[in-house]
Amino acid sequence: MPAPEGPPTGPPPALQPEIIEHKGFDPVRAALEAFAASVRTKTPFPIPPEEIVHGVAAFEAIVRSAKTRRPIKVS
């Protein structure tokens, strides 16, 4: 964001989102390959189960928040 030339006047400008693309990377395929490798080598999956459960809880809270238009606490 450029430095302002003077004190702010009026509402701040809307920021444009930063989009970073990783062409050729398939996150679903990567997760399935990591799962298969952990089964094949009998090693732990790279993401601990608690983090997976928390990710699902966060996603479900997002959906509930969108429906109710209220903040939802993720436990």
- 44 pLDDT exceeds 80? yes
- Across 47-63, average pLDDT: 95
Task: Return the domain boundaries, the chain.
Answer: 48-75
Burial 19-42 (b: 16+ CB within 10 A, else e): eeeeeeeeeeeeeeeeeeeeeeee
The rounded distance, in Å, linking the Cα atoms of 41 and 70 is: 44
- Across 28-47, average pLDDT: 95
Helices marked H in 5-48 — which ranges? 27-41
Q: What is the pLDDT of residue 18?
A: 93
Assigned token pair, 46: 């790279």
Report pTM.
Answer: 0.56
- Across 2-30, average pLDDT: 87
Q: What is the pLDDT of residue 68?
A: 96
